[in-house]
Structure 1
Amino acid sequence: MSNTYTQLYIHIVFAVKNRAALLSTDWDERLRLYIIATVQNNGHKMLSINNMPDHVHMFIGLNPAQSVSDLMRLVKGDSSEWINKERLTKSKFQWQEGYGAFSYSKSQLVKVVNYINNQQEHHKKTTFLDEYRQLLTSFDIAFDERYIFKEPE
């Protein structure tokens, strides 16, 4: 795309199906590397990625040649296929439907990267659902409680 210049920073949050705590510290670094490769192979820049046992945060520099929804279909589809092929969980692994995507300006990069890098500390004080609701609220995104991430079963 000649003469097209963009600066698009997107924070994306997605969860394991039923918010099951399946992302093990035994292999979550491999998962993050797999997701980073998927993001980069699609022309985007990974700025930060981190996970808890039941969800993932990633912060990317978005290439406008691909939509967020197309990227997320690939990230979630390819990574769940990889997790299942590697037999990293006892039962079939799936991501929960949907995701949250939030845009930030360049001046907020360090703040968002630090936030994502400090997820383990953050979740000692805040639940994932409270964190997610706060993101939705702070971005003035109207949401229906029936369609946000489910409580663990």
Structure 2
Amino acid sequence: MANTYTKLYIQIVFAVKGRASVIREEFRDELQKYMTGIIQNKKQKLYAIYCMPDHVHIFVSMGPELAISDLVRDVKANATSFINDKGWVEGYFEWQRGFGAFSYSESQVKAVVNYVLNQREHHEEKTFREEYIELLNQFEVDFDNKYLFEFLE
């Protein structure tokens, strides 16, 4: 797109179907590398990614040629096939429908990268439900509890 310039920083959050804790630590690095490749092949810049056992945080800058929903769809679809092909879970692996996407300014990039990369420590103090609702409230997103991810806490 000639004469179109953007730099949009987006944190994307999505969860494993049923909030099952199936992304095991021994597979996390390989899954993150695979997802990184998908994002890079879509020509988006990845700043940070962290796969928790039951959800994922991705922090990217998005260009104008790709919608956020298309990026998330492609990451989730390809990662689903990758996980199932590897046989990392018993039965069939799936992500929950939907995702959260939150935008940030240039001055917040370092803090968000640190936040994403320190998910394990962060979740020692706060559940995913608490974290996700806090993000929704911080960004003043109107939401209905019945449409949030399935929370098993």
Aligned pairs for 1:27-106 (under 5 A) are: 27-106=27-106
Secondary structure in 2 matching 1:29: helix
Unaligned 5+ segments in structure 1 are none
**Distance in 1 (alpha carbons) for counterparts of 2:151 and 2:69:** 24
Secondary structure in 1 matching 2:25: coil
Partner of 1:139: 139
**Distance in 2 (alpha carbons) for counterparts of 1:63 and 1:103:** 13
Question: Which 4+ stretches in 1 moved above 6 angstroms?
Answer: none
**Distance in 2 (alpha carbons) for counterparts of 1:133 and 1:64:** 28
Secondary structure in 1 matching 2:84: helix
Q: Deviations over 1:71-129 (max 9, x none)?
A: 11100001001110111111100001000000001000001001011111110110000
Normalising by structure 2, report the TM-score.
Answer: 0.98
What is the alpha-carbon root mean square deviation over aligned residues? 1.0
Unaligned 5+ segments in structure 2 are none
Number of residue-to-residue matches in the alignment: 153
**Distance in 1 (alpha carbons) for counterparts of 2:36 and 2:152:** 26
% of aligned pairs identical?
46
Give 1:28 shift. Answer: 1.0
**Distance in 2 (alpha carbons) for counterparts of 1:63 and 1:42:** 10
Give 1:152 shift. Answer: 2.7
**Distance in 2 (alpha carbons) for counterparts of 1:135 and 1:67:** 21
**Distance in 1 (alpha carbons) for counterparts of 2:2 and 2:64:** 13
Secondary structure in 1 matching 2:49: strand
Partner of 1:109: 109
Give 1:23 shift. Answer: 0.3
